[in-house]
DNA sequence: CGGTATAATGTTATGTTATAACATTTACAA
DNA sequence: TTGTAAATGTTATAACATAACATTATACCG
């Protein structure tokens, strides 16, 4: 441990219940546009709609939940369309899949080209945040390398209670 | 880091292709009996069968794969029976579920009462090993606590290439 | 031993998540 | 403008998991 930690960079704040979420969402959409432009991929209608629905909150959403919202106005979109959009969004680093929930969440670090992520999932409010911990990353890399194993991808999903729910309880 | 690492305790060997697996399996079954006796739970026929099928290898198996093996001789066991057996085995720490694969694997540390586990999954041969790394555990615990989050459960699943497949390639 | 409570299993049906295969449309560039 | 690749539509099905209720087995008590 070196000195005091710097919350702004080392310890991103867990999304607060009352924060200005409209801002998160619009910011995310703006970044997504930028990423797609840079990568020469197309953020089509359905892809944008799926991304917007995902960014309605910091709670992961299931594919079929997205689907039913898409079809709320009487649409006839098929499941596969949602999965294709999700695949695109994940390939472009805009969305993550949470294997422990079979659900999807907007990526908090778009454009940063991080294909590995760790997540904190609050079992009370559902809010899920990315955990960017350099020491954790190092420990993981080291432990794996030590065993002669080479990493392709990794899943780290931690379920528990977030600071806000702890305070409320 | 303190001194040189001790492979026998700190760095368990990744299961080798040609190892005496019959031994792994019988050992596992023996331990399972002991655990159930100690916990006054019953390792019934179907539960033992499922556990044996899981221990046929170090490659995780899906519930329906287990089911079809159970029914290979013309049986009529229903999916729910397999899931109930799996639930029992997991509750008793005899089996783990791999969320990234929707598959199940025998626990390498029965009786050690470890409810958290990390896994190394070889994408080439499928072999999966538990990773017991104290530094990793510490880093994880620390990173999470630092953010005011309290842990209930965690999933760490690392996909890559195992030492033996790397050597072969 | 017989009764009774609990645990385990059987039976049937259905819910939830995800993909295959092939047809059609759209966007873009030569 | 037309050829091509990307995207979407359409239909069907695969893969994973649980609900609800009936029946059977086990163990424990009097």
Residue at shortest CA–C1' distance from C12: B78
Our measurement of the distance from residue A2's CA atom to the centroid of its chain's CA atoms, rounded to an integer in Å, reads: 29
B99, B139, B159 member nearest A154 (Cβ): B159
In a domain, A128, yes or no: yes
Query: What CA–CA distance (Å, rounded) separates B118 from B98?
Result: 10
pLDDT in tens, chain B (169 residues): 444 544 444 456 789 998 999 999 999 999 999 999 999 999 999 999 999 999 999 999 999 999 999 999 999 999 999 999 999 999 999 999 999 999 999 999 887 666 668 999 999 999 999 998 999 999 999 999 999 999 999 999 999 999 999 999 7
Q: CB–CB of A155 and B152 under 8 A?
A: no
- CB of B116 within 8 Å of a chain A CB? The answer is no
Give residue B163's pLDDT: 97
Give residue A5's pLDDT: 47
In a domain, A82, yes or no: yes
Give residue B9's pLDDT: 46
Q: CB–CB of A159 and B152 under 8 A?
A: yes
Report the gap between the CA of A104 and the closest CA in chain B (Å). Answer: 14
Give residue A117's pLDDT: 84
DSSP structure class, residue B19: S
* A78 CB closer than 7 A to any strand D atom: yes
Give residue A8's pLDDT: 41
Give residue B7's pLDDT: 44
User: What residue of A is the nearest CA neighbor of B147?
Assistant: A11
**Sites in chain A below the pLDDT cut of 70:** 1-12, 112-116
Domain count, chain A: 1
**Domain span holding position A40:** 21-168
Query: What CA–CA distance (Å, rounded) separates B77 from A132?
Result: 45
In a domain, B13, yes or no: no
Q: Mark out the alpha helices in B45-122 (DSSP H runs).
A: 45-54, 63-70, 79-91
Q: Two tokens at A169? A: 């309880």
In a domain, B137, yes or no: yes
Q: Using the structure, give the distance in angstroms from the CA atom of B113 to the C1' atom of D25, rounded to a whole number.
A: 30
Q: CB–CB of A154 and B149 under 8 A?
A: no
Is there a contact between A107 and A96 (Cβ–Cβ < 8 Å)? yes
In a domain, A153, yes or no: yes
Give residue A7's pLDDT: 44
Q: Two tokens at A77? A: 């979109």
Residues 9-48 of B with CB under 7 A from strand D: 42
- The predicted-structure confidence for A42-64, as pLDDT tens digits, reads as follows 999 999 999 999 999 999 999 99
Instruction: Kindly report the CATH number assigned to the domain that includes residue B53.
Output: 1.10.10.10
Query: What CA–CA distance (Å, rounded) separates B154 from B24?
Result: 26
User: Which chain B residues are within 8 Å of A153, Cβ to Cβ?
Assistant: 158-160
| DSSP letter for each residue of A86-108 | HHHHHHTTSEEEETTTTEEEE-T
- CB of B168 within 8 Å of a chain A CB? The answer is no
Query: What CA–CA distance (Å, rounded) separates A30 from A49?
Result: 13
Substitution target from A7, A140, A145, A166 for chain B, most B beta carbons within 10 A = A140
In a domain, A12, yes or no: no
A5, A146, A155 member nearest B155 (Cβ): A155
Is there a contact between A61 and A95 (Cβ–Cβ < 8 Å)? no
In a domain, A91, yes or no: yes
Residues 6+ positions from A34 with CB-CB distance below 8 Å: A111
In a domain, A70, yes or no: yes
Q: CB–CB of B153 and A160 under 8 A?
A: yes
| φ and ψ at residue B60, rounded to 5 degrees | -60, 145
Q: Mark out the alpha helices in chain A (DSSP H runs).
A: 21-39, 45-54, 63-70, 79-91, 134-146, 163-168
């Amino acid at each position: 441990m070196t000195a005091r930690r710097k919350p702004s960079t080392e310890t991103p704040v867990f999304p607060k219940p009352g924060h200005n979420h409209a801002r998160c969402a619009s910011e995310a959409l703006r970044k997504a546009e930028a990423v797609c432009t840079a990568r020469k991929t197309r953020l089509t209608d359905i892809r944008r709609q799926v991304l917007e629905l995902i960014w309605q909150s910091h709670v992961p959403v299931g594919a079929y939940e997205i689907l039913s919202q898409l079809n709320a106005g009487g649409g006839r979109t098929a499941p596969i369309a949602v999965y294709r959009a999700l695949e695109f969004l994940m390939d472009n680093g805009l969305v993550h899949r949470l294997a422990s929930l079979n659900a999807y969440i907007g990526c908090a670090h778009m454009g940063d080209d991080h294909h590995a992520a760790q997540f904190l999932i609050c079992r009370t409010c559902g809010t899920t945040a990315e955990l960017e911990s350099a020491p954790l990353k190092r420990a993981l890399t080291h432990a794996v390398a030590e065993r002669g194993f080479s990493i392709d991808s990794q899943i780290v999903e931690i379920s528990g209670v977030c600071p806000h729910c702890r305070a409320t309880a």
